[in-house]
Amino acid sequence: MDIRQIATQYLEAKQYQQLVALHENAIEAEPKNSEYYWYLGLAYLLLEQEESAQITWLMGMSQVPDDQVAEAEQQLFDILCAEAERQEALEAYELAWAIRHHAQQVSPQNLDNILRLLWLAANHLNIFTLEDLQEHQLVDRLNSSEEKLDSKLLLKFIKWILEEFEFNPELLELLKASAPPVTPDEDYIDTLTLSACKLSSFKGNKVAAIQILSLCLEVDPNHLQVLATLAQNYEDIGKHFEAIELGEKCLNLSQNLLEKIHARRLLLRLLMGTGGHWHQATKILEQYLELLNQLGQMEAEDLATQPFEFTARSCNIPYWLPYCQDNLSENRDAQNRIAALCYYAAQKDKVKRNLNFIHPEAVQNQPIRLGFVAHTLRQHSVGWLARWFFQYYDLKKFQIYLYFHASEPDEFTRKWFTSRSFHGWSSTNPALIAEQVNKDQIDILVDLDSLTLDSTCEIMAWKPAPIQATWLGWDASGLPSIDYFIADPYVLPEDADQHYCEKIWRMPQTYIAVDGFEIGTPTRRRDHLDIPGDAIVYLSAQAGWKRHPDTIRLQLKILKEVKNSYLLIKGRTDAQFIKEFTYTLAEEEGVSPEQLRFLGSDASEYSHRANWRIADVVLDTYPYNGATTTLETLWMEVPVVTKVGQQFAARNSYGFLVNVGVTEGIAWTDEEYVEWGIRLGTDPALRRKVSLKLRASKHNSPLWNSKKFAQDMENAFEEMVQIYNRS
């Protein structure tokens, strides 16, 4: 047999001593054959005799003529790399790393070997540090080398680094050096975009996300997903002009129906978010509604023939409709039709992913296994409100499982949620979350995100639990896989049932209760804002999306009729745009700009609430009311004026006011909204009366009785199980 064949057999059988003997004999017979020295040294290395291996290779190299040294080094390098690859396949990662380390000493400039060496250290041995990038000069070599690399391995390495380490300038340079040299690479863009989304959504690092996404645009300047994601991140950091420019570019580049809808949805968000582009937003809304209608008219089978991929993540396409119009029938019809298509797409995807969720014929678990899935169980409106149920639920009746659609829980989450749960599990992968829910044999899965996160909709569409409900996060998603939408008689009266696919589960009095809010030290004073001490101060504190121009006009009409009055406008908007827009409306209504004050954000939620008392009256938004902000207002004992509408988003404040026993400030028409604003502004006794009612409500209102609310929720969950078992 050929000596190389025999050597291969010894290697595969791990007969390294025989391998040594074989090549010692071969060298004795042919001392000038350098290949024998390479294999003999490899045999010593496999026997963990590194010094002998290096001496052997040096001896072999001394036999090589000067003009053949480069060829001999390449031969040794190839032998070592081949064995390293074989050891990797055997999952002998530490040995593979050691062999590649020696291969690097033979060929220090070989970039592919350096990459594989780093990947072994990172993914398999857990010994990688960012200093290794400098030590191996990876960025410099990527920039200067024309060597062809395994691009998929490079992307896996980059993805791993972005997930394991805080983003920094060094990593940005690595991403730049890794960019495809000639043509746009979809894998590269997808990897970086996903990492940017995680950095933005789960770690709050918008600046890093923008840097990564901008790099993707250098590779493909017309990539719609990158443009849209970058626009949203620009908006998040207050760069509204740049965001709108990108949104308009998406609009111009969109071709098929789904792209056109997404582009208008994005632009609608960006324009409304400034608080000052509602005229342009109205035009986009008309186009948006027309395209939504076209999509909603499709049958599920039609999706396969379309030039676009439709998935469960498209469930929140109609998200911005309730911000623009209070049309319960039209808004819910659009949502339900698209949710049905999403559900169909989810079932196909479920088969493709081999997600096989088996549900029991009857729920047998005692206590009941209650799961909550959310990315909002943190210092977010949902987190601030949901925490009270977790403090009071009956540990004997329920086991709580938490599925965090995020990175690791923060301190707030650990304090309020994980400490009272039976099980906490986090992932940014929807499929892994769904599989874990089913593995844990959850009886009732409660979605706290609803349409605020598309990937949570995906989890719910797969139906990993036998009973599924939506609570708290937003209006219902309309997915056929969700059984219940938890509400109350005020936010959704009985005539709303016809507009929902889910069964509306009405709690006896309120769909949320809290024991109150932590209050910090006030940081705003009237004299700091150049407002007289005896003035009447109105406050409107909502993001630009909720600041509909029709409602702003009503607020300005109130201001006009109340002498010595001021309106404080606070919330996430573009400072310049909202000022210009509101000043224009004020001029049209005959209100002096001197009566307007625009406030920036507070340092924390605690000071935000403490500063509420700077106001005499809070003016709610419409068609999208305040929710958490209204609860905070009532807790701070400040009167509220709200207009009641048809849709869920337009009835939150109404439900809260009824539950604290206050009817003053509840308006059913524009005229009543203005009348209540004027009355509460001009009648100090009426304001005191309302404030006293709010103070007294803290002792008897269901809105401030979380313990009783938790019991009502427990009763609801137990009844849901009974219904399931009967069916």
Model confidence over 145-188: pLDDT tens digits?
878 888 888 888 988 888 888 888 888 899 888 887 655 678 88
Report DSSP state, residue 124: I
Residue 521 lies in a domain: no
Phi-psi region of 571 (alpha: psi -120 to 50; beta: other; left: phi over 0): left
pLDDT at 184: 61
Residue 432 and residue 468 in one domain: yes
Q: Which pLDDT score, from 0 to 100, does residue 425 have?
A: 86
Same domain, 336 and 484: no
CA distance 93 to 88: 5
493 and 584 fall within a common domain: no
- At 181 the pLDDT is 62
Question: What is the pLDDT averaged over residues 40-56?
Answer: 93
Burial of 50 (0-12, 13-18, 19+ CB in 10 A): middle
Question: pLDDT class for 683, splitting at 50, 70, 90?
Answer: very high
Give the residue among 358, 426, 370, 415 at the shortest CA–CA distance from 395: 370
Q: Which H or E run contains 192? A: helix 186-203
One domain for residues 658 and 621? yes
Rounded to whole angstroms, how far apart are CA atoms 459 and 434? 6
Between 497 and 197, the more confident residue is 497
| Joined tokens for residue 359 | 């549900």
- HSE (CB half, 13 Å, CA atoms) of 282? 7
**Rounded Cα–Cα distance for residues 456 and 448 (Å):** 9
User: Within a domain: residue 520?
Assistant: no
**Can you give the pTM of this predicted structure?**
0.86
**pLDDT, tens digit, 9 for 90 and up, residues 519-534:** 999 999 999 999 999 9
Domain co-membership, 109 together with 212: yes
User: Model confidence over 547-593: pLDDT tens digits?
Assistant: 999 999 999 999 999 999 999 999 888 889 999 999 999 999 999 99
Same domain, 269 and 391: no
**What's the total number of domains in the chain?**
4
Alpha helix (H) ranges present in 48-148? Answer: 50-62, 69-89, 93-106, 111-119, 131-135, 138-144
Alpha helices in 527-651 (DSSP H): 549-561, 575-589, 605-610, 628-635
Region 451-470: mean pLDDT is 94
612-664 per-position pLDDT tens digit: 999 999 999 999 999 999 999 999 999 999 999 999 999 999 999 999 999 99
Same domain assignment for residues 672 and 630 = yes
104: which 2 tokens? 């690097």
CATH code for position 671 = 3.40.50.2000
Kindly report, residue by residue over 467-484, the tens digit of the pLDDT: 999 999 889 999 999 999
pLDDT reading at 667 higher than 70 = yes
Do 601 and 555 contact (CB within 8 A), yes or no?
A: no
Q: Which of 234, 263, 286 is the last residue of a domain?
A: 234
Residue 190, classified by CB atoms within 10 Å of its CB into exposed (0-12), middle (13-18) or buried (19+), is middle
At position 343, the amino acid (one-letter code) is Y
265 plus 228 within the same structural domain: no
Q: What is the pLDDT of residue 195?
A: 86
Residue with tokens 């071969």: 26
* Residue 284: closest CA among 254, 306, 314: 254
Domain-ending residue, one of 234, 263, 296: 234
Q: Give the residue from 354, 384, 405 where a domain finishes.
A: 354
With respect to residue 557, please indicate whether it lies within any of the assigned structural domains: yes
Q: Which long-range contacts (CB under 8 A, 24 or more apart) does 239-244 make?
A: 240/270, 240/273, 240/274, 240/574, 240/577, 241/574, 243/270, 243/273, 244/270, 244/271, 244/274, 244/277
Tell me phi and psi for residue 488, to 5 degrees: -145, 175
- In-domain check, residue 188: yes
| Residue 309 pLDDT grade (very low, low, confident, very high; cuts 50, 70, 90) | confident
Do 697 and 548 belong together in one domain?
Answer: yes
Same domain, 556 and 466: no
Domain region containing 154: 3-234
User: Is residue 669 in a domain?
Assistant: yes
Tell me, yes or no, whether 188 and 66 share the same domain: yes
- pLDDT, residue 386, reads 92
What percentage of the chain exceeds 70 in pLDDT? 99
Q: What are the helix (H) ranges across 424-479?
A: 430-439, 454-462
512 in a domain, yes or no? no
Q: What is the CATH number of the domain that holds 417?
A: 3.40.50.11380
DSSP 405-431: ESSS--HHHHHHTGGG-SEEEEES-HH
Mean pLDDT for the stretch of residues 365-386? 91
Q: Please report the pLDDT score of residue 1 as a whole number.
A: 55
| Nearest C-alpha neighbor of 507 from the set 349, 712, 309, 690 | 712
Least confident of 83-87, 165-169, 294-298, 314-318: 165-169
> Residue 274: inside a domain, yes or no?
yes
Residues 50 and 149 in one domain: yes
**Domain CATH number, residue 189:** 1.25.40
Whether 722 is covered by a domain: the verdict is: no
**622 vs 488: CA distance, rounded Å:** 20
d(CA 276, CA 444): 43
The string of pLDDT tens digits covering residues 333-360 is 999 999 999 999 999 999 999 999 989 9
